[in-house]
Amino acid sequence: MPSHTPPSRSKRKKALQRQIPEALLARLWRQRATRQQDLRTTEGRSVRILYPGRRGTEAGPDFRDALIYREGTGLVRGDVELHLHPRDWDRHGHASDHRYNGVVLHGVLAPPGAPQPLPNGGVAPAVELSPLLDPTPKTVLANPGQHPVLWSLLKSHGYHKPAGKTEALLLLERAGRARFLQKASSSASLMKELGTEEALYQALMESLGYSENRAGFLELAQRVPYKALMKAINGVPQTDRLLRMREILLEAAGFGKGENQPAHVMDSRQWRLFRIRPANHPCRRIAGAAVLLHRTATPGLLDSATQWSSSKSFKSLLQRLPVTDPSGRPALIGRSRALDIAVNVFLPLMHAHGLHQQNHSLSRNALGLFMSAPKLQPNRITREMEKVLFPKPWRPLGNAALRQQGLMHLHRLIQGEG
């Protein structure tokens, strides 16, 4: 019987290159990119992947917020796009798609060509990813859960790599408090520009847009200011006020029922509706906003927020924000969104308001409520930061809003946004 000779490593790679789907390439990038020491651009410059980025779930680059060290350039932060073949960049129309302006690396399995052009006139260096097919790279991190380069960046901001889980929890709580105070400082600037009640209204409306339609809701709040909305319902019978508020907001958003919409309203095409769950459609969020604004119309949004932020417990505050759907469908503003609004909007702004008014009881209570808030809905950033910064036996660490906000703060620092 003739002996069987196993195929060489190079032949196995070529076979995989013909068969591998792009989804598997993305998984290999996430699992193995940080362990490579021989990645080079087409110009011959070495590339080290410090953080592969978080997986993109919407239209746009495959990975967001990657951290890369490029020879000759230094540390760069941005997006990464992966393809099987370099021609796929042009085939998919990325060169003219503004969503790809932030790409700092184009990874391809087949040998790449020249750097890819970006819509803004820049270029994205190309690197061959065939080394990802080798399960035994030359360099393997001893503990990928405590990446030394990321911790060296955080150390420069005063966050040293913890020696144990208790230290890690305290570090996240300190980072979460820092994020809260940053949000309060930003709120103070907005309050100075717009006035406290208008700033609160805009922040509330923006938070109802989720990530997809935050810009749309902010523009809606600017087109229909709080004072104008309250003036419009002045004199309207109490039983009809909620309906009138909803109609005003829907019309201004471009979702009015009339055939001839006023020229000043938003074009409904400005809203992102692709792959939006029906429960998150802007019309439903606008309906929820109308109920919440109607609920606070007397004595007013600011006075209501002040009263709520003086609550003895976070549970008491949280009961004020959800909005049920009378038809029995999912809530117009559910508990998880209400929790997010309380933590990210109401409490930081009311802390800033208390400081401005020298109402130290209000500012202390707002901070105390924030620090006692329960766990928020996990997101891609909190999950990713927990995974890349801390070893698995310590997890979960983001089991309270304060610590989750700490993970978000560390992510901003890594991205150079702190």
Structure confidence by residue, pLDDT tens digits, 231-254: 999 999 999 999 999 999 999 999
One domain, residues 188 and 306: yes
Spatial separation of the C-alpha atoms in residues 357 and 364, rounded to whole Å: 13
One domain, residues 61 and 184: no
Instruction: With H, G, I as helix, E, B as strand and everything else as coil, classify residue 322.
Output: coil
Task: Give domain status of residue 147, yes or no.
Answer: no
Instruction: With H, G, I as helix, E, B as strand and everything else as coil, classify residue 282.
Output: helix
Choosing from 106, 140, 174, the residue where a domain stops is 140
User: Burial of 1 by CB count in 10 Å (0-12 exposed, 13-18 middle, 19+ buried)?
Assistant: exposed
Q: What's the whole-number mean pLDDT along residues 331-353?
A: 96
Average pLDDT score over the chain: 88
Whether the model clears a pTM of 0.85, i.e. scores above it, the answer is no
Q: Is the pLDDT of residue 303 over 90?
A: yes
Sequence length of the chain is: 418
One domain, residues 205 and 273: yes
Task: Give domain status of residue 178, yes or no.
Answer: yes
Choosing from 107, 140, 173, the residue where a domain stops is 140
Q: Which residues contact 288 (CB under 8 A, 6 or more apart)?
A: 208, 323, 331, 332, 333
Split at pLDDT 50, 70, 90, the class of 145 is: very low
Spatial separation of the C-alpha atoms in residues 327 and 320, rounded to whole Å: 20
One domain, residues 391 and 322: yes
Task: Give domain status of residue 148, yes or no.
Answer: no
One domain, residues 212 and 316: yes
Spatial separation of the C-alpha atoms in residues 76 and 105, rounded to whole Å: 10
One domain, residues 119 and 182: no
Split at pLDDT 50, 70, 90, the class of 38 is: confident
One domain, residues 49 and 187: no
Residue of higher predicted confidence among 417 and 306 = 306
Spatial separation of the C-alpha atoms in residues 349 and 370, rounded to whole Å: 12
One domain, residues 83 and 218: no
pLDDT over 70 percentage in the chain? 91
Got the DSSP string for 199-264? HHHHHHHHHTTTTTSHHHHHHHHHHS-HHHHHHHTTTS-GGGHHHHHHHHHHHHHT--SSSS--TT
Q: By residue range, what is the domain housing residue 204?
A: 165-414
Task: Give domain status of residue 91, yes or no.
Answer: yes
Asked whether the beta carbons of 207 and 345 are under 8 A apart, the reply is yes
Q: How many domains, in total, are found in the chain? A: 2
Structure confidence by residue, pLDDT tens digits, 1-14: 444 444 455 554 45
Nearest to 83 by CA among 130, 43, 45, 119: 130
One domain, residues 125 and 241: no
Q: CA dist 159 to 19, 89, 167, 343, 407, Å? A: 44, 39, 11, 23, 12
One domain, residues 173 and 117: no
Q: Which residues contact 374 (CB under 8 A, 6 or more apart)?
A: 314, 339, 400, 401
For residue 318, the surrounding DSSP H or E stretch is: helix 314-318
Tell me what pLDDT residue 388 has: 85
Asked whether the beta carbons of 82 and 70 are under 8 A apart, the reply is no
Strands 74-83 vs 103-108: parallel, antiparallel or unpaired: parallel
Bridge partners (DSSP) listed for residue 80: 63, 105
Strands 54-55 vs 103-108: parallel, antiparallel or unpaired: unpaired
Q: Is the pLDDT of residue 24 over 80?
A: yes
User: Burial of 43 by CB count in 10 Å (0-12 exposed, 13-18 middle, 19+ buried)?
Assistant: exposed
Task: Give domain status of residue 4, yes or no.
Answer: no
One domain, residues 50 and 194: no
One domain, residues 193 and 104: no
Half-sphere exposure of 120 (CA within 13 A, CB side): 9
Tell me what pLDDT residue 259 has: 52
Split at pLDDT 50, 70, 90, the class of 73 is: confident
Structure confidence by residue, pLDDT tens digits, 255-272: 987 554 555 789 878 898
Spatial separation of the C-alpha atoms in residues 71 and 358, rounded to whole Å: 52
| Angle between helix 196-207 and 301-308 (nearest 10) | 80
Asked whether the beta carbons of 62 and 166 are under 8 A apart, the reply is no
